[in-house]
Chain A
Amino acid sequence: MFSPTIIIEAMINGLLTGAIYALVALGLTLVYGVLHIINFAHGATLAAAMFAVWGLNAAFGIDTYWTIPIVTPAFFVLGYVVQRFVIGPAAHGDDGNILLITLGISILIENALLAGFGSDTRSIPSDFSFAIVEAGPFLLSSARLVGAAGSLVVAILFWLLMSRTDTGKAIRAVAREKLGANLVGINVGHIYAITFGLGCAALAVAASLLMPTFYVNPRIGGAFVNIAFTVVVLGGMGSIPGAMAGGLIIGMVESLSGLLLGESLGQIGIFIIFILVLLLRPTGLFGAKA
């Protein structure tokens, strides 16, 4: 039915998109791994970051990729503050409460964006969005290649941060045993907030990398939150290599099922994987324990 070239091209494009999904999922899985909470507001935060990128471009004409040094620290601080002063104190240490608070935050962000920007869909049009690289018989989008490369760089930076720095060591200690970490003098609340901020910072980078080829509207977070949860669950909740592998797999599944089933049914592949993994192997591919 389809020539091998089309299928392979779809797979490569899927991998490229998947790399950005991995970046979106990175923050979610990091927060889960350390704080043991599901941040339901992850998708809405991404939507907010995409609006920030769009706004900087629309207002000051800053090129999409050059918004990274602005939005990334801004979202790190935002994430830190929200975790330290809203989620942490409001949850009283109950996991169910945290889930519901992040749900509340996601409703809040989504509707604040709706109230502020209306429900219109926006994009950043530029020639680069349509630029194509020819690789043998395949035509690949330049913006997606840059996106995938950017995701890889961020993943490496994360790995260096986690393995080589004192902060990374502290984060790993808190993830492993928070009482013990507290006893040796690590400020657990501070580390929680830093982790949450890092998750938001990763989203800001993802937003900048996504904007050349994606569009944004206040409801866009919903689509990404489903994908990100699937990636995280597939890779194993809390596992960073799992999120990377899961992102690539999901990107490919989405691209192939879109090709075979059409746009409207294409998403089904993702939900089915999500449900099957949760029901059959909730620890995912790389997770150690449930």
Chain B
Amino acid sequence: MIGRGYLPIILVTLLIAATPLVISSNSFFNFTVLVLIIALAAQGWNLLGGIGGQTSFGHSMFFGIGAYTASMLQTHLGVNAWLSLVAAIAAGALAGLIVGFLSFRAGLRGSYFALVTLAFAELLRVLANASELTGGAAGLLLKLDPGFANMQFSSRPTFMLLALAFVFASLVITQKIVNSRFGAHLVAVRENEDAAKALGVDVLTVKLKAISLSGAMTAAAGVLYVQYFLYIDAGIAFGIWISIEALLAPMVGGRGMVLGPLIGAFTLHGLGEITKSFAGRVPGIDLIVFAIVLIVVIAFASSGILGLLKKLADRFSSKEGA
């Protein structure tokens, strides 16, 4: 017996998991791993920004905290990679709690909240660029030592399956939240915070829960990034690029929808690759496409690709019924 909403998640996951059976190109797996990492980071954003309506411009702070926690524990203290992963996820949740406590208690909403998250991420970027613990501007290198214990895999399809497992877990968790009372409260806060409060929803607690879960998910994406590329620096970890990726994917795929970030990340980066193959090596051309897609989506399909598909399906079924 499968609960509401889980069937599409399982189907999409199985579809991606089956790709190594028919595709053997390394560039395909490189592409898919990066897209899955972004989809995981974006699912974190979606939980807070899509379902909870709290737009963050600084999700790189969680991504970076995850990446740096995992790599610092491994390089400085020799901690096992999987234990570092757990610590990094916890650090992401804690960071979410702290930032959420400070900003939600101060009553920051909408644009103000977006700006304060951006400022926190930038602050961390400057600190990580200057501190010795984080390797300063040179960054941190993880020692190449493939093996399950080190969470490093020389086979790209294997790493893709690992990333997929994380994405699958994030999808299931998000679906569980959507189906739960907490999810309903979160949507109520998004739709009308004052009304939700009047109806007895503990707005601060709901938001704090959402931002710490969100931070934990995006931190896990940061860990995957560093386990795959074995390198991190302040510009990657706390850079605006991942904040934007984490926001664009759900916006394009369908904000607040469980599969939105994954569909959005695949669509955007698929488009990016196609553009690059046409336009050649023009720097920034893929981001130009992303930006245009974002503006077009907001202007004409504010609920994203999934929202558009749903609308089409509804129109089709209502015609059938008539």
Contact = CB atoms under 8 A, between A and B. Distances in A.
B120 A275 contact: yes
Interface in A263-286: 264-265, 267-268, 271-272, 274-275, 278-280, 282
Contact of A115 (B55, B110, B282): B282
Contacts of A222: 240
B284 A112 contact: yes
Contacts of B284: 110-112, 114-115, 218
Given A110-B284, A278-B116, A97 B240 contact: no
Contacts of A96: 53, 55, 110
A103 B298 CA distance: 12
B123 A268 contact: yes
Contacts of B31: none
B287 A282 contact: no
Interface stretch (B65-73, B165-173, B212-220, B289-297): B289-297
A115 to B, nearest CB: 5
The B interface, classified by DSSP as helix, strand, loop or mixed, is: helix
Contacts of B55: 96, 99-100
B112 interface: yes
Interface string A82-108: 000010011110111101110111011
A191 B298 CA distance: 23
A115 B288 contact: yes
A90 B298 contact: yes
Interface string A156-176: 000000000000000000000
Q: Which of B126, B129, B251 has the most CB of A within 10 A?
A: B126
Q: How large is the interface on A (under 10, 10 to 19, 20 to 34, 35 or more residues)?
A: 35 or more
Contacts of B118: 226
Contacts of B137: 264
Nearest to A219: B240
Contacts of B116: 274-275, 278-279
Contacts of A193: none
A280 B107 CA distance: 10
A91 B126 CA distance: 33
Given A90-B299, A268-B127, A282-B112, A103 B119 contact: no
A105 B291 contact: yes
A267 B106 CA distance: 24
Contact of B123 (A89, A91, A271, A279): A271
B115 A278 contact: yes
A104 B293 CA distance: 9
A107 B287 contact: yes
A126 interface: no
Q: Which of A111, A265, A280 has the most CB of B within 10 A?
A: A111
Contacts of A274: 115-116, 119
B44 to A, nearest CB: 18
Contacts of B119: 226, 229, 271, 274-275, 278
Contacts of B129: 264
Interface string A216-247: 00100010001001000100000000000000
A181 to B, nearest CB: 22
Nearest to A89: B299
A2 to B, nearest CB: 21
A139 B132 CA distance: 36
Contacts of B292: 104, 108
A193 to B, nearest CB: 17
Interface in B175-206: none
A86 B295 contact: yes
Interface in B94-136: 102-103, 106-108, 110-112, 114-116, 118-120, 122-123, 126-127, 129-130
A107 B115 contact: no
A114 B292 CA distance: 16
A215 B260 CA distance: 40
A86 B277 CA distance: 29
A119 interface: yes
A135 interface: no
A1 interface: no
A107 B290 contact: yes
A134 B134 CA distance: 43
B17 interface: no
A38 interface: yes
Contacts of B302: 92, 94, 97
Interface string B238-249: 001000100100
A164 B102 CA distance: 43
Interface in B265-322: 282-285, 287-288, 290-292, 294-295, 298-299, 302
A104 B111 contact: no
Q: Which of B107, B123, B295 has the most CB of A within 10 A?
A: B295
Given A264-B129, A265-B126, A278-B112, A103 B288 contact: no
Interface of A: 37-38, 40, 86, 89-92, 94-97, 99-101, 103-105, 107-108, 110-112, 114-115, 118-119, 218, 222, 226, 229, 233, 264-265, 267-268, 271-272, 274-275, 278-280, 282, 290
29 contacts: A40-B57, A90-B295, A91-B298, A96-B53, A96-B55, A96-B110, A97-B302, A100-B247, A100-B298, A105-B295, A108-B288, A108-B291, A108-B295, A111-B284, A111-B287, A112-B288, A115-B283, A115-B288, A118-B283, A226-B118, A229-B115, A229-B119, A233-B115, A265-B126, A271-B123, A271-B126, A282-B107, A282-B112, A290-B107
Interface of B: 53, 55, 57, 102-103, 106-108, 110-112, 114-116, 118-120, 122-123, 126-127, 129-130, 137, 240, 244, 247, 251, 282-285, 287-288, 290-292, 294-295, 298-299, 302
